[in-house]
Amino acid sequence: MSPLTGQEHCPSHFVREPSHVTVTILYMLDQAGVAQEIASSHPEESGWSLAGQVPVGALRGAGRLACFACLVLLLAILLNALIDSGLRRINTSSFGVSNRIVGGNINADIVISGSSRALTHYDPRLIEEQTGLTAFNIGLNGSQTDMQLARLKTYLRHNKKPLLVIHNLDVFSFQTTHGGVYDPGQYIPYLSEPAIYAELVHIDPDSWKARLLPLYGYAVQDLRLSWILGVMGFFGWNPREDHFLGFKPRYAAWTEDFERFKANNPDGARFEIEPDGVKKMEELLRLCEEQGIGALLVYSPEYREMQALTKNRAQVFAHFDRLHDQFGVPVWDYSGSPISVRQENFYNSQHLNADGAAAFSRDVGARIASELSAGKLPVPARARSGSKAAQAIDRRGVVSYVMLTTESPQFMLTIVDIRSKSG
């Protein structure tokens, strides 16, 4: 017998026991003095469903709630698609670079990859000027080798193979990402890219949520509020252009970052060499090898005082030498370059400012032109015979190099000062 209605329950093989939700509703009705009135009337008259012992009004309410939930889900799906579409329509700044990569609109002869040091050190415009070859910078801010490799794979998936990949080296080149990627919002519109998604899931298994749950990525992971750019981009807005063929110059003077770093690390700093990081570097070079792409490893200028604070610098560079021995890839070390000595070339110990990047880009471009024309770089044969790129090298390589070293003895000194593993 029901404690609220005074009616016997139907046998269990006819009708299920009322759920806890139903009991709660009946209790509320009893407290309001409605239950007895319902019990004394016929079920049909009181608005009850005899088979389920559930008020018809409750069923209607549940239906409305389900419809509302479906509407909210649909709106979330549509808004997520709008933001994704808007971000992928942007053709300037960092999203513009990513969109050119996945759109297959680059197809450069020389591709520069790496971390923020690649992003801010290599000006493709000056490299093009020195080599006569097209160039593009796909450096990725705040990244380790695992995400740099994913970006390079994505580039190769959509664009023709370059003649040469210049990969910038760092003291942390043998480290992988831990605790989540920097600025995860920059990846959300590209989660359909296999290499990017696979690496994100490897770093954080919960990354699937950003791909499958509408608006989750923008609501939870997008700390820079990129979704606002997406909405504006959908209606044709573009941010100010600050990337030039992928390169992002930094017009900044020396900051106090290095002094703070020295104060916090009076005994120096150590950069771990992780087995997974070594594997990622090997995978990157093996990818180039398998696809017939020339590879060049360059340790771009680093402020001289910082070099002395890296406690295991010798061990890191010994691993660079092993990569040379294993893959036959040249390693150009600019640690001893005059550019690394002058503080006015940097805005912090790791990053060149726009002036320093210009000096370095002319320097490295001239050396590439010289060594390509001499056949010292491991580029495919198509770069040295019959192609438009080869004609550009033959026509401009040595001439550009001579002009540069004649006009600027400092650059000649820089080139002589740099050691090379290329022979």
pLDDT at 374 over 70: yes
Whole-number Cα distances in Å, 402 to 260, 397, 409, 422: 42, 9, 11, 20
Report the distance separating Cα 240 and Cα 247, nearest Å.
Answer: 14
pLDDT at 142 over 70: yes
* Total residue length of the chain: 423
Report the distance separating Cα 347 and Cα 251, nearest Å.
Answer: 8
Q: What is the pLDDT of residues 160-184, one digit of tens each?
A: 999 999 999 999 999 999 999 999 9
- What is the mean predicted confidence (pLDDT) over 348-377? 95
Report the distance separating Cα 389 and Cα 101, nearest Å.
Answer: 21
CATH class of 76-420: alpha beta
Q: What is the pLDDT of residues 377-417, one digit of tens each?
A: 888 765 554 444 455 544 443 333 333 333 333 333 333 33
User: What is the torsion angle, in degrees rounded to the nearest 10, for the CA atoms of residue 157, residue 158, residue 160 and residue 162?
Assistant: -70
pLDDT at 8 over 60: no
pLDDT at 286 over 70: yes
Lowest mean pLDDT among 136-150, 153-167, 293-307, 376-390: 376-390
**In terms of pLDDT, which residue wins out, 394 or 69?**
69
Q: What is the pLDDT of residues 27-57, one digit of tens each?
A: 444 544 444 444 444 545 445 444 556 676 7
**In terms of pLDDT, which residue wins out, 411 or 336?**
336
Q: What is the pLDDT of residues 309-331, one digit of tens each?
A: 999 999 999 999 999 999 999 99
- What is the mean predicted confidence (pLDDT) over 99-110? 98
What pLDDT band is residue 419 in, cutting at 50, 70 and 90?
Answer: very low
pLDDT at 287: 98
- What is the mean predicted confidence (pLDDT) over 297-308? 96
pLDDT at 352: 98
pLDDT at 19: 43
Q: Do 192 and 100 contact (CB within 8 A), yes or no?
A: no
- What is the mean predicted confidence (pLDDT) over 101-122? 98
pLDDT at 284 over 90: yes
pLDDT at 61: 78
The alpha-helical segments, DSSP class H, found in 112-225 are 116-121, 124-131, 145-158, 194-203, 208-212, 216
Other beta carbons within 10 angstroms of residue 257's beta carbon come to 14
pLDDT at 65: 86
pLDDT at 15 over 70: no
* The residue to which tokens 């010292």 are assigned: 376
Lowest mean pLDDT among 158-167, 209-218, 343-352, 378-387: 378-387
What pLDDT band is residue 63 in, cutting at 50, 70 and 90?
Answer: confident
Sheet holding 294-299, edge to edge: 135-137, 110-113, 164-168, 294-299, 331-333, 419-420
pLDDT at 30: 53
Domain ranges of the chain: 1-48, 76-420
Q: What is the pLDDT of residues 222-232, one digit of tens each?
A: 988 999 999 99
DSSP 392-407: HHHHHHHHHHHHHHHH
What pLDDT band is residue 3 in, cutting at 50, 70 and 90?
Answer: very low
Whole-number Cα distances in Å, 30 to 27, 57, 260: 5, 17, 70
Cβ partners under 8 Å of residue 42, min gap 6: none
